[in-house]
Structure formats: structure tokens, C-alpha cells
Amino acid sequence: MSLTLVIGNKNYSSWSLRPWLALAHHKVPFDEIVVNLYADDAKARILAHSPSGKVPVLKDGEVSIWDTLAILEYLAEKFPQLNLWPVDAKARAHARAISAEMHSGFQGLRQATPMNLKRVPRPIDLPDAAKADIARIEAIWNECRVRYAKKGPFLFGEFSAADCMYAPVATRFRTYEVPIGLVSSTYADTIHALPAFERWREAGLKETWVSHYDSI
């Protein structure tokens, strides 16, 4: 039985992008159900797939997994050959630590710069909380690239779940023209050049749904 991923609007849903990218990058076959998160019946439609009432949700036969990080962990176990987490134990622990930090933190950046792929890039006045988050993310990216640059262009050299977790940040940095250093800018370019991400972005740009985010 094939996998089914229930996601929100591709233009706006950063949490949906993360597991979608993991599957699409590795060419794992799956069906997708896209729910317009701003429709009146969105909650009911999502509850038909997930008790949390939130996306994304991965369905694998009778098994349903909600929460982005839980989905990535499930995929890592189901498809160990993909190496969604680094093979090296120390790198793997590092990748999980920064992924968990993204999962639970950076509220200042999230609130100030919601994901919006259609937004014409232009800067905004960032609150101090967002600036602190940006500084911390740059520190994470710089440390990873210094440690693992010889293994490839992603955070841990080869593409991993950690890149899935931080991919939406790369879009925010571009959309809001956030001033960042060369290492961070280069890594953001790497994410945007990923064929799977390009497919996601193209689909998001074709969506006709709108939200209040468009006024930011």
C-alpha cells in the first residue's frame, strides 16, 4: 500500500514542506492530499486524517503519523537505506539536536516572517526576537558547514532530515531579504536549487488561495 501525505498549502505551509521534501528528494512514491488551510472546512478535512487537527499527516496503511519530526523519524526507520539521519553516530546526534531545536524554537522568526513563496522579496523591520533567532540559525548553519563541508553542500554534507527541517528558513531569508553571511546565503541557495524544492515552489506559485500573511 502506498504512502499518503496530507499537507497544507504549498505556498504557506512550512511544516508540510519538510516531510514532503524528504520523500520527493529521495523519489519515494507517495500520494498527496492538499488541504487549503484557510478554507472554512479545513479543520474538518484535516480531522478526517489526524486527531491533532493539524498537517502534515503521513498515512501508511492503517498507520497515521502526525507531527513533522515524528514523520521524519518514521521515514528514517521505514527506509534506512535513505540515510535520512547521518550514518556517523556523532553527526546523527548533532543532526537530531538541531532538528529538535528547530521543531520547538525560533518563534520570533516564525511570527515575524511567515512562509510565503509568492511574496515579492523585500525587507521588513525585524523585531529583536527574530534577530536573535536569525543569529542562532546562522551559528548552527556555520558550525555544520565548517564541520561537514568536505562531505557535500548540505548541513551534514549529504542531504538529511536536518535539511528538511531548515529548508523553510531558507525561503524566509529570501522572501524577507534577511541580511545573512556568505555561508548561510550559499546554503540557502543550495536548498533553493534542489530539484524537489523547485517542484514544491512551482506548485505553490500556482495556488490561488490567499491568507492574511499576504499583507505582511
Fold of 89-198: Glutathione S-transferase Yfyf (Class Pi); Chain A, domain 2 (1.20.1050)
Beta-carbon contacts of 6 under 8 Å, excluding residues fewer than 6 positions away, are 32, 33, 35, 46, 49, 50, 55, 56, 57, 58, 59
Q: Model confidence over 160-182: pLDDT tens digits? A: 999 999 999 999 999 999 999 99
User: Where along the chain do its domains lie?
Assistant: 3-82, 89-198
pLDDT on residue 1: 57
CATH class of 3-82: alpha beta
Give 153-156 contacts, CB < 8 A, sequence gap 24+.
153/186, 153/187, 153/190, 154/187, 154/190, 155/95, 155/98, 155/187, 156/86, 156/91, 156/94, 156/95
What is the pLDDT tens value at each position of the chain, 216 positions in all?
Answer: 589 999 999 999 999 999 999 999 999 999 999 999 999 999 999 999 989 999 999 999 999 999 999 999 999 999 999 999 999 999 999 999 999 999 999 999 999 999 999 999 999 999 999 999 999 999 999 999 999 999 999 999 999 999 999 999 999 999 999 999 999 999 999 999 999 999 999 999 999 998 876 777
> Strands 3-7 and 57-60: what pairing?
antiparallel
**Residue 146, pLDDT score:** 97
Read off the pLDDT of residues 95-108 as tens digits, 9 standing for 90 and up.
999 999 999 999 99
Domains 3-82 and 89-198 share a fold: no
Q: What is the pTM assigned to this prediction?
A: 0.96
